[in-house]
A and B are shown apart, each in its own frame.
Chain A
Amino acid sequence: MTSNRNNFTKTIFLLFASLSLTLTGYSQFDDSYTDLDKTEYLVTYSMKFQEDSLNPHYISQEDMLLLIGPKMSKFLSYNYYIGDSLVRTISTHEEFQELVNHPQNIMPRVRLMYEIFKNYPIGKITTTDHIIGDPFKYEEKMDQFHWELRSDTATLHGFKVQQAICFFGGRQWIAWYTADIPISDGPYKFNGLPGLILNLSDSKQHYVFEFVSISKIAYALMIDMNDKEYIRSSKQEFFKARNNFREDIISRAREAGAGVQTQQVAAQNMARRNNPIELE
């Protein structure tokens, strides 16, 4: 399975080489993957979030996937999953040309490029993320969520749920978990409750995760990680790099070959993305 995908990606590189003498660059196609676990259950959440803390009318929505295996889990956005799969399965010259000529027509607009691997390595959370062009990887502890159980209970989609709260990343979070699904996991990095988190939001309602579905996966849906050369950093270093990128967007856009107009538009758009899920 994996080697087959690799061949496709290799092919893409060859096609690229045959189309242009610029043999460097486009390294996103140059990828192979390592299987870490096999998905047993697939949970889907709908995430609504307010990218601009000053504009409550601009709410974005993304479907998020939680791939749960016997040993670990992986959390990522549906669009990132699809974009990644698309690149992995391109097989014709025309598709490739379309991808090179009009990437915006084929590639999903991926806003959230992170992948969160819980309990990988054991007892840790590994997060991979991208700051245009640079893949990052950092680890943090799994058991950093100090949940306080509340006595509030309710029924959500027929599941008995109970409320729990915790502080994480500069926000207060309110979770509704169900012991009916005895999987100690949830959206984003959240874990450590005695059951699956079905609903999660911060106190300002800037980030709201809602349960969409859970299903048992009978086919081979692997929990895998890209073998690319990640920049290994601490979480704080990654946040610093991300912040620098936001503030330095005009220079970066210019380096990428964008015109003056585009540089300014990029800066205005970036200014609106001021509300990351983890504030600190």
Chain B
Amino acid sequence: MVIQASGIRFWLGLIAVLLCQSLFSQALIKGVAVDRERNPVPYLNVMIRPIGSNVVLAFGITNSDGGFSIIVKNEADSLNIAISSIHYRNQNRHIKNMSQEMRFEMETDIKQLETFTVRASPIQRKGDTLSYLVQSFSGEADRSIEDVLRRMPGIEIESDGRIIYQGMPIQKFYVEGLDLMDGRYTAISSNLPHKSVSVVEVLENHQPVRILEDRISSQQASLNLRLKNNITTTGTAKFGLGYAEHLLWDANITPMAFTKEFQLLGSYQTNNSGTDVSQQLKSLGFEDMLDHDKPLSEISPLIIQSPIVPHLNQDRFLLNNIHLINLNGLLRLKRDLQVRANLHFVNDFQKQKAEMVRHVFMPEDTLIFNENMDNRNHDSFLKADLTLSRNVKTNYLNNKLSIESGWSSSRGNLYDGNKQINQTLNKPVRSISNDLRSTYPIGGKLVEFISYISFDQNNHTLIVKPGVFENTLNNSLYYDKTRQHLDLKRFYAHHTAGFIGNWKGLTINPRAGFVFRKQGLESTIVIVEGDTENPAGSSFDNQLHYTLFRSYVQTGIEYKRKGMTIKALLPLSYVRLEAEDPLKQISDGLNKLLFDPSLSLIYKFKSFWQFSSTYFQANRLGEMDDVHYGFILKKYNTLFQNATPLEFSNSRNISVRISYRNPILSFFNSLTYISGIKEQSVVYSNSLLSNGSSIAFAANIPNTSHFQNLQINSSKYFSITKSTVSLKAIYSLNKRLSLLNDALFEVENRIFNLGPQLNTRFSSWLNAEYRLEMNYITTKLDQIGKQRTTFSKHHLNVFAFPRDNLMLSFTNELYLIGKERSLFSDINFRRSLKPKGLDLEIKWSNIFNAKTYTVIQANAYTLFESRFYLRPAQLLVSVKFNF
């Protein structure tokens, strides 16, 4: 106690002494540093230290006049002043501790600071392979290799499973040196048990394309897992059960197996809860601009009458029962070759029920037709891709061979107010294609070569019962069935090569190629009456051979100046076309040189403003698949002929956009105007019969259509109320020529769309949004008058995150169409139980059990109003886990 008290006294005393000292001994040391030429030297460090000590008491840095001024508070008699910098020799002086002025004359001295490294700077580190023993990083609760990777130095795992090494996403994820999943590696990393992995190798600066190894150094790392056993198996599963008038399921089982030479990942997915899992098989590739001659992969020359699909989330209306099997295998061969096989099998059964009203605005009258539809679609296909790749220093080669076989069929029961009509459509398809891509060096430049070849056969049959178009097809006599056969065989080849070059400040990207397409169409209509079958006649037969050849070159030019960029793309192509139908003794041909330039300009000014404009021109041939000299029964109520093999269109489009974006005020605005003119050689003519059927044909009447679109977007954030108010308005105008019952008239569609929206954040874990969308559609026919339609949608959504890994949402959509209203409300609950590796999801959709939804679509002189039957209220509980 006594000791402490005296201690406090001692310290207080010392502080008092120090205070006095510092108050009394304060020196101002000023000075100037000049070089030999008497020029002032700035940026020198001037330090005052006690003599014999390293502790800097005070310091200054010389200013642009070379001057410094330092206040020193110290009781010592003399001090040390040091002046230092990289570019001058250090100087040291002993001075008296008193205010004074000094002068330093600096001598140039390029010092070589020693390179010093705690660890190598990432810029200078060269490619290494780091190996981590999994055992030494794994913990008690870890299950997958992902959990262990998370602990390894430099590795992070993002919420979506993406692996980051030193802040950069990894480039490749190999298992035993094989890249099975091609980027979608989370399926492996989040499932593979860490116990089956012995070593994780980090390949730094890994360049997976070996021909680029010496050209482009990669900054990214790749990971390679070395396995303990010769064979490892694992997987993931999701099971969901629910109820919506009947039992619902949603299951996904993904097993996988790895060996050193062969790896396999499979998946079986099935549900009847409204998810079209076959969508994930669709590849989202870039369509090359010069690839517009490529045959469309899914064609429907013959169709079952189907309602317009609602613009709702698919799981609101898709009545499905789907099974999907997907197998991916990878095999390592000799000589740097790898074979990858992907096999997909889909078996999907879908139901569609709707009532459709068709309003046809005729010059004299408006006709209304009703159709009640009940369709069953059965889609089944098998697709196999075989990819062979070779990745060596001298070239890069990737060849993908795809084979597809499909057996789709549909049945449609339709009631048109008078009678029941049965439609059956079979559309088997077989196709094969080969895609070769290769890169190799020529004269220091890398040349890329692409070869694409495909062949497909489509053998479609549409049967309509009872027979239709009796007047045209069967001398006005009633008959049992109409049968339309159609066989389309197509061959397509596209070869192209390109490289990138610079020439006198211009950047040129030349590319050249040629396209060859040849196809044959055979079709016939058969009248079936009991056991007798008779062809409907030669006007209803086709035997068309079509050949197209196109060669092209293209290049681009760019010009740039402060704030302004102008670009031009100049594709030039020569096209040759031949169409021949020996049955009808018709032969047509065409040779054309086409130039489709495009031009764009961007100008930025005054920080917040941007002006941009684009112009492009497109010369296009008609789609070959749709051409036929004889009539085809396209659907139960349409006979269609398109005897215009040389259909040709020229469109010119311009867009102008001006935007003001001020992020400081959070005020964003843009105005976009698009306008286009399309000159076509063909008009589709319709002869509407009293029962709503139509006989359509293409007529060679040159015509012009116009469209204009104006769009305004505006949004402002108010930080006081933590709310965003935004507005979107679109006005579009569309004018074109139509031919209906031999009357040529102009149709004008105007669409006005207005959408205000409000978003508010009540707290960091609760936010809500309200959105309104109003649509006004006007269809105007020459001298006849107008037809107006109005519909609106209200959205109100609330999202809550009361805890980590817990989400609750309540979403509502109210649709008002004419007098009809549909309300959809959903509740979603998601909880992730991380340590148990279990995800739980509860979805209660369409709570108020809305039964139908009405879609309105305007199409030239027709307005479709479809009442679509929806999925009833449904509850689905699902769990996801690994095995």
Residues of A whose CB lies within 8 Å of any CB of B are 3-4, 7, 10-11, 13-15, 17-21, 23-24, 27, 30, 32, 40-42, 44, 60-63, 65, 70, 77-79, 81-82, 85-86, 89, 91-95, 97, 100-102, 104-109, 111, 122-123, 131, 133-134, 136, 149, 151, 153, 157-160, 162, 179, 181-184, 192-195, 210-216, 227, 229-233, 237-238, 240-241, 243-245, 247-248, 250-251, 255, 260, 264-265, 267-269, 271
Residues of B whose CB lies within 8 Å of any CB of A are 43, 45-47, 54-61, 64, 82, 84-87, 90, 112-113, 115-124, 156, 158-159, 162, 164, 166-169, 171, 183, 209, 212, 215-216, 219-220, 286, 288-289, 439, 446, 448, 498, 500, 502, 505, 507-509, 511, 554, 556-558, 560, 562-563, 565, 567, 569, 598, 600, 602, 604-605, 607-608, 612, 614, 616, 657, 661, 663-664, 666, 668, 713, 715, 717, 719, 722, 724, 726, 759, 761, 764, 767, 769, 797, 799, 801, 807, 809, 811
Instruction: Tell me which residues across on chain B come within 8 A of A250, comparing CB atoms.
Output: 724, 759, 761, 767, 769
Instruction: Tell me which residues across on chain B come within 8 A of A21, comparing CB atoms.
Output: 289, 598, 614, 616
Partner of A260, one of B120, B156, B562, B797: B797
Q: Taking CB as reference atom, which chain A residue is nearest B156?
A: A60
Report how far A13 CA is from B558 CA in the complex, Å: 8
Task: Assess the A251–B113 pair: CB atoms within 8 A.
Answer: no
Instruction: Tell me which residues across on chain A come within 8 A of B164, comparing CB atoms.
Output: 109
Task: Assess the A23–B167 pair: CB atoms within 8 A.
Answer: no
Task: Assess the A195–B719 pair: CB atoms within 8 A.
Answer: no
What's the minimum C-beta distance from B341 to chain A, rounded to whole angstroms?
A: 23
Instruction: Tell me which residues across on chain A come within 8 A of B507, comparing CB atoms.
Output: 7, 10-11, 14
Task: Assess the B608–A30 pair: CB atoms within 8 A.
Answer: no
Task: Assess the B59–A194 pair: CB atoms within 8 A.
Answer: yes
Instruction: Tell me which residues across on chain A come within 8 A of B767, comparing CB atoms.
Output: 250, 264, 267
- Knowing A105-B171, A194-B59 touch, does A213 contact B116 (C-beta < 8 A)? yes
Instruction: Tell me which residues across on chain A come within 8 A of B663, comparing CB atoms.
Output: 131, 134, 136, 231, 241, 244-245
What's the minimum C-beta distance from B383 to chain A, rounded to whole angstroms?
A: 21
Report how far A122 CA is from B42 CA in the complex, Å: 11
Report how far A40 CA is from B111 CA in the complex, Å: 11
Task: Assess the B122–A44 pair: CB atoms within 8 A.
Answer: yes
Partner of B657, one of A24, A100, A108, A233: A24
What's the minimum C-beta distance from B423 to chain A, rounded to whole angstroms?
A: 36
- Knowing A21-B289, A106-B220 touch, does A62 contact B167 (C-beta < 8 A)? yes
- Knowing A11-B507, A17-B569, A244-B717 touch, does A213 contact B664 (C-beta < 8 A)? no
Interface CB pairs A-B, < 8 A, 8: A19-B289, A41-B86, A63-B167, A91-B446, A181-B113, A215-B117, A243-B719, A250-B767
Task: Assess the A92–B116 pair: CB atoms within 8 A.
Answer: no
Best-buried of A63, A122, A159, A229 by chain B (most CB within 10 Å): A229
Instruction: Tell me which residues across on chain A come within 8 A of B560, comparing CB atoms.
Output: 10, 30, 32
Q: Taking CB as reference atom, which chain A residue is nearest B437?
A: A94
Q: Taking CB as reference atom, which chain A residue is nearest B450?
A: A93
- Knowing A91-B500, A102-B183, A131-B663 touch, does A179 contact B171 (C-beta < 8 A)? no
Instruction: Tell me which residues across on chain B come within 8 A of A30, comparing CB atoms.
Output: 560, 565, 602
Task: Assess the B118–A157 pair: CB atoms within 8 A.
Answer: yes
Q: A4-B502, A7-B505, A24-B657 are in contact. List 19 more A-B contacts (CB 8 A).
A: A20-B286, A78-B123, A93-B448, A94-B439, A105-B171, A106-B171, A106-B220, A136-B663, A153-B54, A157-B118, A182-B90, A194-B56, A214-B113, A214-B117, A215-B116, A215-B117, A241-B663, A247-B717, A271-B764
Task: Assess the B715–A255 pair: CB atoms within 8 A.
Answer: yes
A-B residue pairs, 5 tightest by C-beta: A194-B45, A23-B600, A14-B556, A182-B84, A10-B507
Partner of B119, one of A107, A193, A212, A231: A212
- Knowing A10-B507, A14-B507 touch, does A227 contact B567 (C-beta < 8 A)? no
Task: Assess the A251–B219 pair: CB atoms within 8 A.
Answer: no
What's the minimum C-beta distance from A75 to chain B, rounded to whole angstroms?
A: 14
Report how far A251 CA is from B722 CA in the complex, Å: 11
Q: Taking CB as reference atom, which chain A residue is nearest B607?
A: A231
- Knowing A17-B600, A18-B509 touch, does A213 contact B56 (C-beta < 8 A)? no
What's the minimum C-beta distance from A226 to chain B, rounded to whole angstroms?
A: 13
Task: Assess the A230–B558 pair: CB atoms within 8 A.
Answer: no
Task: Assess the A179–B45 pair: CB atoms within 8 A.
Answer: yes
Instruction: Tell me which residues across on chain B come within 8 A of A97, comparing CB atoms.
Output: 286
Instruction: Tell me which residues across on chain B come within 8 A of A237, comparing CB atoms.
Output: 664
Instruction: Tell me which residues across on chain A come within 8 A of B602, comparing CB atoms.
Output: 24, 27, 30
Task: Assess the B183–A105 pair: CB atoms within 8 A.
Answer: yes
Partner of B123, one of A40, A42, A230: A42
Report how far A105 CA is from B170 CA in the complex, Å: 7
Task: Assess the A13–B567 pair: CB atoms within 8 A.
Answer: yes
Instruction: Tell me which residues across on chain B come within 8 A of A131, comparing CB atoms.
Output: 663
Report how far A221 CA is from B569 CA in the complex, Å: 35
What's the minimum C-beta distance from B174 to chain A, rounded to whole angstroms?
A: 15
What's the minimum C-beta distance from B67 to chain A, rounded to whole angstroms?
A: 14
Report how far A89 CA is from B616 CA in the complex, Å: 29
Instruction: Tell me which residues across on chain B come within 8 A of A160, comparing CB atoms.
Output: 54
Instruction: Tell me which residues across on chain B come within 8 A of A15, comparing CB atoms.
Output: 500, 509
Instruction: Tell me which residues across on chain A come within 8 A of B220, comparing CB atoms.
Output: 106, 108
What's the minimum C-beta distance from A110 to chain B, rounded to whole angstroms?
A: 8
Instruction: Tell me which residues across on chain A come within 8 A of B124, comparing CB atoms.
Output: 215
Task: Assess the B84–A179 pair: CB atoms within 8 A.
Answer: yes
Partner of A247, one of B121, B158, B171, B719: B719
Instruction: Tell me which residues across on chain A come within 8 A of B809, comparing CB atoms.
Output: 264
- Knowing A24-B657, A243-B719, A244-B666 touch, does A11 contact B289 (C-beta < 8 A)? no
Q: Taking CB as reference atom, which chain A residue is nearest B49?
A: A179
Task: Assess the A149–B56 pair: CB atoms within 8 A.
Answer: yes
Q: Taking CB as reference atom, which chain B residue is nearest A233?
A: B664
Report how far A199 CA is from B162 CA in the complex, Å: 32
Instruction: Tell me which residues across on chain A come within 8 A of B563, comparing CB atoms.
Output: 229
Instruction: Tell me which residues across on chain A come within 8 A of B717, comparing CB atoms.
Output: 244, 247-248, 251
What's the minimum C-beta distance from B4 to chain A, rounded to whole angstroms?
A: 26
Q: Taking CB as reference atom, which chain B residue is nearest A42?
A: B121
Partner of B511, one of A18, A40, A79, A162: A18
Q: Taking CB as reference atom, which chain B residue is nearest A4?
A: B502
Report how far A7 CA is from B86 CA in the complex, Å: 37
